[in-house]
């Protein structure tokens, strides 16, 4: 179960309510409610409010939920526009005001049960093209100051510039999350600096401190280089692709 699912299940059973009774009260199907309890359904915050209210929990302290709990129970993608607005308001409120001006408190963004909690644990991560020009951004959750195990201020997305890794399921225009790395990692897709610019390559490490750099468009091609001739910029740990 998710934390939200645990809470619903505990209170529903404590009050002796059936799935049918709760589902009828909040206007959802019994199957939908059961999937929420089991942690198999991601729901929006307004739906969470409605279910909690239906079982008698009209208020719940969002500070009791961890980031993982929030991510597993709230539809973050639908909340992104509101999150960006909230983060902008927060930054504006915290900026030093001119002597003649009085600080204006942020009104906040209504409609999200965990908005304030999320605003403190999301980071604007830039998306760069092959010449390191920012072309987009993503909001990603930060845990203990890190994203994907790396310092949050050191990660970024790279747009795949071509179909050189088509055979490895990376297509032109896909976004790859890059974390810092300085040496080749076996069986990883890595961002490498070359005389012609930054390129993405699949890496296989070999004995005697050598690595095979692979591409796979129409067919698989590779070149073997010693570690000291390879300038590694980062390791790709996540792929985002359009369907």
Q: How does residue 2 score in pLDDT terms, banded at 50, 70 and 90?
A: low
Over residues 53-109, the pLDDT tens digits come to 888 765 544 444 444 454 455 555 555 565 566 666 666 776 666 555 544 444 444
User: What's residue 51's pLDDT?
Assistant: 83
User: What's residue 85's pLDDT?
Assistant: 64
With beta carbons less than 8 A apart as the criterion, state whether 128 and 155 touch: no
Q: What is the mean pLDDT of the chain?
A: 79
Give the residue-averaged pLDDT of 18-32. Answer: 88
Give the residue-averaged pLDDT of 121-138. Answer: 90
CATH superfamily of 122-240: Umud Fragment, subunit A (2.10.109.10)
Residue 146: pLDDT over 60: yes
Residues of the chain with CATH 2.10.109.10: 122-240
Over residues 101-123, the pLDDT tens digits come to 544 444 444 444 455 545 457 78
Residue 47: pLDDT over 50: yes
Residue 28: pLDDT over 80: yes
User: What's residue 111's pLDDT?
Assistant: 42
DSSP per position, 34-85: HHHHTT---B-HHHHHHHHHHTT-----GGGS-HHHHHHHB-HHHHHHHHHH
Which DSSP state fits 143?
B
Closest to 104 measured CA to CA, from 112, 95, 113: 95
Please check whether the domain covering 3-76 is classified as CATH 1.10.260.40.
Answer: yes
Give the residue-averaged pLDDT of 22-47. Answer: 82
Over residues 159-174, the pLDDT tens digits come to 999 999 999 999 999 9
Residue 205: pLDDT over 90: yes
Residues of the chain with CATH 1.10.260.40: 3-76
Closest to 202 measured CA to CA, from 164, 150, 240: 164
The Cα–Cα gap between 56 and 46 comes to 15
Break the chain down into helix, strand, coil percent, rounded to 5: 35, 30, 35
Q: State percent of the chain over pLDDT 90.
A: 39
């Amino acid at each position: 179960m998710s934390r939200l699912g645990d809470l619903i299940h505990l209170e529903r059973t404590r009050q002796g309510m059936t799935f049918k009774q709760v589902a009828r009260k909040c206007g959802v199907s019994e199957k939908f409610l059961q999937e929420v309890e089991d942690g198999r359904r991601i729901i929006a915050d307004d739906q969470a409010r409605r279910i909690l209210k239906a079982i008698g929990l009209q208020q719940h302290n969002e500070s009791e939920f961890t980031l993982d709990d929030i991510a597993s129970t709230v539809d973050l993608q639908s909340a992104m526009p509101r999150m960006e607005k909230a983060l902008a308001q927060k930054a504006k409120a915290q900026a030093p005001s001119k002597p003649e001006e009085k600080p204006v408190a942020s009104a906040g963004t209504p409609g999200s049960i965990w908005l304030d909690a999320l605003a403190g644990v999301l980071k604007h991560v830039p998306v760069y093209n092959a010449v390191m020009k920012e072309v987009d951004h993503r909001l990603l959750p930060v845990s203990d100051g890190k994203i994907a195990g790396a310092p949050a201020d050191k990660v970024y997305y790279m747009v795949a510039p071509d179909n050189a890794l088509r055979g490895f399921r990376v297509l032109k225009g896909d976004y790859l999350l890059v974390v810092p790395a300085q040496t080749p990692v076996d069986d990883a897709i890595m961002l490498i600096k070359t005389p012609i610019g930054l390129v993405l390559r699949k890496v296989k490490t070999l004995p005697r401190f050598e690595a095979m750099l692979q591409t796979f468009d129409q067919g698989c091609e590779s070149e073997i280089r010693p570690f000291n001739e390879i300038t590694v910029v980062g390791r790709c740990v996540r792929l985002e692709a359009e369907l």
